Amino acid sequence: MRKYFLVSCVCCLTQMNCTKEVPVCCVIPEVINVQISYTNSAKADLLDPATPNGIRKDDVDIYYLQNGVKTQVYYPNLDNPKNFRISQTGMGNKYFLVLWASMHEDRNSITTTYINVRNRFEDTLTAELVRSGGGRSVNKVWINGVQLNQIDTVTLIR
């Protein structure tokens, strides 16, 4: 009997905590996952480890704009502490920099992520987020000021 009473109490407490709208603090946000391939003018895949003078993982740093301050990303507890990875996909065996962009938005619901390739260049990824209930979703994405039609994959020539 005591067992059934305990189960009933847990169920009642769970039901009492439910609300129609989930608070933002309890929602796992939509992740902005963008795949970027880099090629040179000769169409060589710069992320391919076999490419001379290519882009190496150690050369890439990611920065998020947080409260107006450009902050380097590093989460040592994650598998990809810099919030990106370089991987090869079945799409023509190209290599892609797979990036988890910033979810730190400004007053206009805009997030900014900087992709810095040491001693070479820096790309800027900007996204507009839309709130719905307790969640967020991506509305528009720009890279270096150019709006992308396809949010998840882009090729940049360097």
Residue 129 class from Cβ within 10 Å (0-12 exposed, 13-18 middle, 19+ buried)?
buried
pTM greater than the 0.85 cutoff: no
Strand, coil or helix: 61: strand
Q: Cα–chain-centroid distance for residue 68?
A: 19
Please tell me the total number of residues recorded for the chain in this structure: 158
Q: Is the pLDDT of residue 95 over 60?
A: yes
Q: In 3D, which of 61, 58, 103, 96 has the Cα closest to residue 82?
A: 61
Q: Is the pLDDT of residue 111 over 50?
A: yes
